[in-house]
Structure 1
Amino acid sequence: MPDAVLTDRDIAAIDIGSNSVRLVLYRLEGRAIWTVYNEKVLAGLGRDLPTTRKLSSEGVVMAMTALRRFAAVLEGVRPDTTLIAATAAVREALDGPEFCERVAAETGLNIRVLSGEEEAKYAAMGVLAGAPLAHGVSADMGGASLELTRLNGDGVEHGLTLPLGPFALADGKGFDADRIKARIDQALKPVAAQFRSDRLYAVGGAWRTLAQVQMALKSYPLRVVHQYQMSAEDALETARLVAQQSVASLAKLPGVSKKRAETLPYAGLVLEGLIKHLGLKQIEMSAWGVREGLLFETLDEATRTADPLLAGCTALGGRQGVAPALP
């Protein structure tokens, strides 16, 4: 863990997920967290897990190419701290350890494989990093899993992981909405009571894409997904729409890539199940998740409790030579 007395520093975070591999460079000025650089590759490491229990061979090639590039970027940038984490695909794959060893040998990057509970915790901490007063349930959808964590307004409570990511639901039998809904119901019913809430904080690329689709349908004037809010009714309308579309039709929608179009119908059905079982009334998007949660944990407690908006304004003012105490 980095020295807590360092308040202004550069942090790099690499997130090796079931669907994407991403590098983000951050600049920290106390509690103010600035994204400096953000690069993502949709490798689909977890695409073959349901059938082979191994990482996708094509995905491994794409991930290794991305990670070699990321290592070169880090060599040039030389951040103060580098955080590297892998989630469900690498955690569950039989060849996950072999993949981590290969990455270390070829790039020098040492991967921390998060447990399901850790993944849930860090996703929720990422929500709090961006919205300190968040109260409800964090839902982080990756390619292979869904992590649920209750946020009580003071911090993060116990979370859990469920096999409800798009790759886990795609069982090779084709997209059958009724069959997939039954699987979602079966997974959510036993845990619904402990996660019932009015508000869901949605973390993950699939949720963000759903929000972008709804923004386009509603002609929403801003294209800022972070903290975008949908009523349960509007979310259901969008979720059901994408679940009924073909991949080709979805790929024509604004902000939807072909690879994302393949997983979006599953994400829509999971959101519909969450609304049904948790009694949700409002869904709020969070662009921050596991990466920011890992970063947030490196801050000392006093820094964590500062208001991020005020901290950001103070940092910007400081760059202009404005004294923080100026009334």
Structure 2
Amino acid sequence: MKERIGLIDIGSNSIRLVVFQIEDNLAIREIQNIKIPARIFQYITDDNEMSQEGIDTLARIIGAFAKEAAILKADRILPKATAAIRQSKNRDDIIDQVQKKTGVTIELVPEKMEAYYGFSAVAHSMSDRDGVSIDIGGGSTEITLFRDKGLVEFFSFPFGVVSLQEKFFEGKDFNDAKAIKETRKFVKQSFAEHPFFADLNLPIFAIGGSARNVARVHQMNTKYGMAGLHEYTMSPEEIDDVYNIFLEQTMKDMLKLEGLSSNRADIIIPAIIVFQELIQAVGSPIFKFSQQGLREGIVYEYLENKYPAAFDINHVAQETVERLSSIYQFSMSDAAQRMVITRQLYDALNEDGYIQLSDTELQLMNYGAYLYNLGEMIEPGNASQHTFYLLSNSNLNGFSHPHRLALSVLASYKNKTLFDQYLSSYGEMLDNKQVETLQNIGGLIKFAECLNDSHNNIVKSMDLVRKGDSLILRIFYQGELLSEVYRSEDQKKHIERAIGKDISLEFIHAKSYLAIS
């Protein structure tokens, strides 16, 4: 472990302490996450100053969080504040009082940096190269446009879910029709005045608690099978469906609605109105959710300043796969050899036209081979089951949900029965052609594992030749064959099923072959 960072995120709606552990390979692991729905925005007076009650509340929470961070042995505390304090006229007095009472000096996040942190979190945790990000907080909304993983434009709108609720819904029902109409008109006009994101037809990436709640409600309502919100995708029509669910509820029902935090029941409609209006303005076909946001963006900046070239935003999925090795402690040399053998096998079959994969499928094949049976660290006898569970239930940066499912079945491939069982809970996420292709790739990976059964890296190359009516896979090796021959003969049925042909295996010592040649 390199260090622990205690990040105190002081938002308008809630204050949160997240303690991140930075591993030796710079993998980021969250070990504590505490949220208090303080809504300090409500302490801002008509004169745009925070009341003394609000300052005292803020100091009490920050003091408690600082003590918790110390208990967890955080090496550094990063106390960051956004709109509520940033927009207060007495912000210097707020910072001074909190520092005297707690010893913690609050750092204000400028509007531009708040927008940048949200974009940075998306760029570091997703493979998409172009899009629009939105982070709607309690008192402000940050929107960015990025292309080719570079920030192009940003704007911070001086409204958020709490301020919209106070402006239009104060004293009214949470779903009051007139308030909704006025809110929608206000948001639409605000977006129209800053048209840098108009008619882009790009995906929208939503960050923050309101977005997470919308996604959770949709997952619960549709009985979605896969765990996690990161990279969860909804269509504009599905956003409208969730909006209609909210409209139909009473406040009593909203407080019990699965997927919706009770402290957001009265402010979620202003949030989803903002999402709907942004979808209309952008002309977006896809609405995606990022589990990472402002806090992770701050940590990425901190680490990149301290450890230059710590992350490569152009190869997010690859970094995710590589950093899993530190979590599950499997042999990277065996994983790399298995990946090489799988590719050699594919090339041999591909050269004769027996199998053809797209670039994305080849990438998934490589990752599946690298992570194959990582669940052995839990229990070798049930490595396949553990592998599938671990990968399918983890938020994997750079992997869409269908690709995460594909990776999970490839890395856990054992036989067709288990393969079908794993996929049975995921409905229509993959079509029949994709399922067939994944089963064939899984067979290649399993066979490649057999060719390194002794873990001595003896297989050097292979090719496919025809002798009369026979199809022979020639495997060239150096060193001493142990169980590779027996294991591969037993498992060659996976290759035969993939290519629709019977094959024979021929192991040839590389030196002998060179001498004959």
For residue 227 of structure 1, the aligned residue among 224, 231, 246 is 231
What is aligned with 2:84?
89
Q: What are the superposed Cα offsets for residues 187-238 of structure 1, whole Å, 9 maximum, x if unpaired?
A: 0112234353421110110111111111111111234122211011101221
For residue 75 of structure 1, the aligned residue among 70, 73, 80 is 70
The answer to whether the 8 Å contact 1:243/1:268 transfers is no
Inter-CA distance 267–57: structure 2 relative to 1 (3 Å threshold) = farther
TM-score, length of structure 1 as denominator length: 0.89
What is the number of residues matched between the two proteins? 321
Instruction: Specify every segment of 5 or more residues in structure 2 that has no aligned partner in the other structure, as ranges.
Output: 337-517
Inter-CA distance 270–305: structure 2 relative to 1 (3 Å threshold) = same
For residue 155 of structure 1, the aligned residue among 150, 157, 170 is 150
Q: What are the superposed Cα offsets for residues 285-320 of structure 1, whole Å, 9 maximum, x if unpaired?
A: 112111111111122442221645544544443466
1:9-88 mapped onto 2 (5 Å cutoff): 9-29=3-23, 30-49=25-44, 51=46, 53-55=48-50, 60-88=55-83
TM-score, length of structure 2 as denominator length: 0.58
Instruction: Say what the alpha-carbon RMSD is for the aligned residues.
Output: 2.4
What is aligned with 1:288?
292
What is aligned with 1:317?
325
Q: CA deviation at 1:166?
A: 1.6
The answer to whether the 8 Å contact 1:31/1:308 transfers is no
The answer to whether the 8 Å contact 1:44/1:59 transfers is no
Q: CA deviation at 1:114?
A: 1.1
User: Using the alignment, how far apart are the partners of 2:74 and 2:161 within structure 1?
Assistant: 34
For residue 112 of structure 1, the aligned residue among 91, 107, 125 is 107
Inter-CA distance 248–57: structure 2 relative to 1 (3 Å threshold) = farther
Inter-CA distance 51–108: structure 2 relative to 1 (3 Å threshold) = same
Higher relative contact order (CA closer than 8 Å, sequence separation 6+)? 1
**Structure with higher strand content:** 1
User: Using the alignment, how far apart are the partners of 2:107 and 2:163 within structure 1?
Assistant: 22
User: Using the alignment, how far apart are the partners of 1:48 and 1:106 within structure 2?
Assistant: 19
User: Using the alignment, how far apart are the partners of 2:214 and 2:51 within structure 1?
Assistant: 25
The answer to whether the 8 Å contact 1:50/1:168 transfers is no
The answer to whether the 8 Å contact 1:9/1:27 transfers is yes
User: Using the alignment, how far apart are the partners of 1:106 and 1:275 within structure 2?
Assistant: 44
What is aligned with 2:312?
305
Higher Cα Rg, which structure? 2
What is aligned with 2:275?
271
The answer to whether the 8 Å contact 1:44/1:56 transfers is no
Q: 4+ residue stretches of structure 1 with deviation over 6 A?
A: none
Q: CA deviation at 1:63?
A: 3.3
SS at structure 1 position matched to 2:40:
coil
Q: What are the superposed Cα offsets for residues 97-153 of structure 1, whole Å, 9 maximum, x if unpaired?
A: 222222211111111111111110111111222214342011001001110011213
Instruction: Specify every segment of 5 or more residues in structure 1 that has no aligned partner in the other structure, as ranges.
Output: 1-6
1:87-236 mapped onto 2 (5 Å cutoff): 87-169=82-164, 170-171=166-167, 172=170, 174=172, 175=176, 176-194=179-197, 196-236=200-240
Q: What are the superposed Cα offsets for residues 154-198 of structure 1, whole Å, 9 maximum, x if unpaired?
A: 232331101231222121464511111111011011223435342
Indicate the percent of aligned positions where both proteins have the same amino acid. Answer: 26
Inter-CA distance 318–224: structure 2 relative to 1 (3 Å threshold) = closer
Inter-CA distance 291–44: structure 2 relative to 1 (3 Å threshold) = same
Q: Bigger CA drift: 9-18 or 127-136?
A: 127-136
SS at structure 2 position matched to 1:302:
coil
SS at structure 1 position matched to 2:132:
strand
Inter-CA distance 230–70: structure 2 relative to 1 (3 Å threshold) = same
What is aligned with 1:3?
none
Q: What are the superposed Cα offsets for residues 246-287 of structure 1, whole Å, 9 maximum, x if unpaired?
A: 433311201323321011111111111111111111111112
Inter-CA distance 65–302: structure 2 relative to 1 (3 Å threshold) = same
- The residue type equivalent to 1:317 in the other structure is S
- The residue type equivalent to 1:190 in the other structure is E
**Structure with higher helix content:** 2
- The residue type equivalent to 1:276 in the other structure is Q
Q: Bigger CA drift: 139-148 or 31-40?
A: 31-40
